[in-house]
Structure 1
Amino acid sequence: MEYFLQTKAWEDFQKSLGRHVHRQSGPGWSFLAIEEKNPAGKVLYAPYGPVAESVEAFDAALAALRGLARSCGAVFIRIEPVGLDPESGPGILRNRGLQPAPVNQQPELSWIVDLDRDFKEVLAEMKPVNRNLYRNIHKKGVTFRTTQDPDDIRVLLNFLHMTARRNGFKPQSDEYLTQVAQSLMPAGAATLFIADLHGGPVAAALAYDSADTRTYAHAAMDDTHRKLSAGIPLLVTLMADAREKGLKHVDLWGVAPADQPDHKWAGFTAFKKSFGGREIAYPGTWDLPVNRPRYAAYQMARSLRDGIKALIKRLTP
C-alpha cells in the first residue's frame, strides 16, 4: 500500500499551508517529514513514515531523519513507522531511543477493504443491508455523482456542520478542508462523492487517492434524510469507482480495538466493519528526542498540565 500522507500530493498540500517539508529516500526506505511547531519548539513529523522494507532500512531512514532534525533545529522527531511488525516494533523502537508519543496522531488501527478481485466478491463480504441499499437505493430517487471542483466542498462542509451539532464533535475547520479541496482536487488526488435525492445533495464523502489506495477521509449526511441511509451506498459507490480506476485497496481509516466496546470510535468501527475487510495495525506514534533537555521539559510540562486537568475533573460535580 502507498500511504496517502507520504505522497507527493500531500507534500504539495503541506507546502500550500506554508509549511517546510522534506523528502528523502534510500535503498528500501523513504519518508516525507513536515516541520511543525508545538510547546517544545520545532518538531519534525513523518505521518505514517518512514516507510521501510526491513529493520536495516528503518535504521538508515532514522539516521537520515536524525541528521535532518539537527540541521533544521528540531527538538524531537515524531514518527509513525510503516513496515515494522506491530508486535516486535515497539521493542525495536525502544532499543533505538524512541518512546511512545503522548497520543497517537494517526490511527494505530485501520480497516482495509481489498479491491484486487471481482467486485461481486467485495459485495459478498458486506452485510446484506449494505448490498441491498447499494442495489436498490435508486428506487427511492437517489443518484450518485463525483466532482473535483473545489467549490463543491461546501456541500460536505454543510453536512459536517449538521453532524457536529448533532453529535457534539469538532470537525476540521472550513478553512482547512477548503484548502485541502483547492490543493488536492484539481490535481486529481481527491474526489468528492455526492448522493442526490431528486437533484439535491443528501450525503457527501471526500476520498484521497494514492497510487494503489483510496482513503475514506471525511463524510457526513443531511439530518433530514437520515432514514435513507444514503451514506452506505455512497461508500459502496466510492469503492466500486476505486476498483474501476485500478486501485487495489480502500482504507476506511481508524477503528477501535475489538476489546474496547466503549471506545469513542465504537460506532464508526461497527459501520466500517459492515463493509467487510480486514484490520491493519501499526506500531503507533513515537518520539525521538534530539534536544533531550528541552524534550524532558516538554514532557514534564505536559504531565503537569494533564494532572491538573484530571484533578479539576474529579473535583467538578
Structure 2
Amino acid sequence: MLSVREIPESDHLALLAGRRSASFLQTPAWGHVKAEWRRESIGWFRGDELVGAALVLYRQLPKVKRFLAYLPEGPVIDWEAEDLREWLAPMAAHLGARGAFGVRMGPPVVTRRWDAAAIKAGIADDGVRRLGDLPPTERTHSGARVTSQLIDLGWRAQAVEGGFAAGQPQYVFQVPLAGRTEDDVLAGMNQLWRRNIKKAAKEGVEVVSTAGAEAAADLGAFHELYVHTAERDHFTPRPLSYFQTMVGALGSEDPDRIRLYSARHEGTLVAATIGIRVGAHAWYSYGASSTDKREVRGSNAIQWQMIRDAIAAGADVYDLRGITDTLASDDPHLGLIQFKVGTGGEAVEYVGEWDLPLNRALYAAFAMYMKRRG
C-alpha cells in the first residue's frame, strides 16, 4: 500500500538523482522559477521507502481559496505499474487535503513516434496534413495502457492548446543518443544540416558554453538577441529577470543542470541558446539568432555543440522540445519541424495533460473561467 506526503526538497532531489530520466519541470528548482505558484515536493512511500516524487505547483482560483494542483511533465512514479490507482488515488487525496479543487498532470509516457524519413515523406504528400495522418514508426503499449487506465479512473484528457498556465507540449522532437557516437549522429543528419555545420566551422564560428555566475553575466547579451528574435518571429519574449531566476535556481541545484551557449562570428553574437540536463535527458530550452550573418550558420553550429556535449555527458536523448503536429505546407509552423527534422531525430507524442476534478462545482467554474479567457 502506497502513501503520499510532503517531503523535503533534498529527498526529492535525491530520488531524481537515482533516475535515468526526469523532466526538469519536476525538479525542486523549477518550483523556485515559477514563484507565482505555491510549490510543494511530495513523495510516494512504500513503508519507509521513498519510491516516487513530484513537484506540485498550486495556482489559486480567483476569489476562492481553492487551488488547481499542477504537476508539469510528472509525477515521477512507476508508469509501468499494472494498477495506476495505487499511485494516483493517494496523490489525489493528499492534494485535495491541501485545498485542490482539481489536479492537472502530464505523464511522461510516450504513445507514438515517427522517424525523420516518415515525416519527410508526410511533408511531401499533399494528402497528409498532420502527424496523426501518418502511420507511426512505433506505437507503444505503455501509452495505450496508461491512457486506458486514466480514462477508467476518471481523468479527463486536455486539449493541447491553452491551459491554466502555458500547457506543456504533447508533441516534441528528439534525437536519440544512446549507444551513438558523434559520427553516428552526424551521419543521421540530412545533407543540408551537415553542410551548414561544416560551413559554420569554415567561417570561423566559435561556440562556448558557460554556467553559474559566468552564465548569469552573459544573460544580458543573450536576452538582447532573444528580444530581437521575438520581434522578427512575432512572439512575446520573457523578461530578462525570468532567465536570471531560471539560471540561478537550476544552477544552484546542480552546477551542470543549465548552461548558456553563445555562438560568435568575428566577435559578433550570432546565436545563443539555453541547454538543460537532468540525468540522461538533455534539452534545448530557449534559443535566439541574429538576422544579420545568417549565412555563417550559427544556429546549426550551436545545436551541434549542444548535441556533442550531451553525448559527452552520457545522455540518452537530446530533446528539442515542442513542435505542433502539422505537416501542411501552408502552415506557418512547418518551418520549425523541418529545421528539427534535419537533425535526423524523431517526432514523439506523449499522452498529454490530464485533469481530475476533485470538487466538480469548482472545477466546472474553473473550466468556464478558462473558456472565457480563451
Q: TM range, normalised to the smaller chain?
A: 0.7 to 0.9
1:271–1:225 Cα change, 3 Å:
same
Q: What count of residue pairs does the alignment treat as equivalent?
A: 305
1:33 aligns with 2:101: no
1:263–1:81 Cα change, 3 Å:
farther
Structure 1 unpaired stretches of 5+: 307-317
Residue number in structure 1 paired with 2:80? 54
| Contact in 2 for aligned 1:80/1:286 (Cα 8 Å) | yes
Q: Deviations over 1:195-242 (max 9, x none)?
A: 011123211010111010111100011222222221011101100011
1:256 aligns with 2:324: yes
Report the Cα distance in structure 2 between the residues aligned to 1:29 and 1:154, rounded to whole angstroms. Answer: 38
Query: Residue type matched to 2:189 in 1?
Result: M
Report the Cα distance in structure 2 between the residues aligned to 1:299 and 1:262, rounded to whole angstroms. Answer: 32
Residue number in structure 2 paired with 1:292? 360
Normalised to the residue count of structure 1, the TM-score between the two structures is 0.87
1:151 aligns with 2:217: yes
Residue number in structure 2 paired with 1:210? 278
Report the Cα distance in structure 1 between the residues aligned to 2:341 and 2:308, rounded to whole angstroms. Answer: 17
Residue number in structure 2 paired with 1:179? 245
Residue number in structure 1 paired with 2:171? 109
Q: CA deviation at 1:251?
A: 0.7
Normalised to the residue count of structure 2, the TM-score between the two structures is 0.74
Report the Cα distance in structure 1 between the residues aligned to 2:330 and 2:186, rounded to whole angstroms. Answer: 29
Q: CA deviation at 1:281?
A: 1.5
Q: How does 1:159-238 map to 2 (within 5 A)?
A: 159-186=225-252, 187-188=254-255, 189-238=257-306
Q: CA deviation at 1:194?
A: 0.6
Q: CA deviation at 1:291?
A: 1.3
1:62–1:260 Cα change, 3 Å:
farther
1:267 aligns with 2:290: no
Residue number in structure 1 paired with 2:99? 73
Q: Which secondary structure state, in structure 1, belongs to the residue aligned with residue 69 of structure 2?
A: strand
Residue number in structure 2 paired with 1:137? 200
1:4 aligns with 2:21: no
Query: Residue type matched to 1:153 in 2?
Result: L
1:184–1:293 Cα change, 3 Å:
same
Q: CA deviation at 1:168?
A: 1.6
1:20 aligns with 2:39: yes
Q: Deviations over 1:94-138 (max 9, x none)?
A: 211111235451111111112221111100111122122323423
Q: CA deviation at 1:260?
A: 4.8
Query: Residue type matched to 2:80 in 1?
Result: S
**Superposition CA RMSD, Å:** 2.4
| Contact in 2 for aligned 1:130/1:233 (Cα 8 Å) | no
| Contact in 2 for aligned 1:31/1:49 (Cα 8 Å) | yes
1:64–1:264 Cα change, 3 Å:
farther
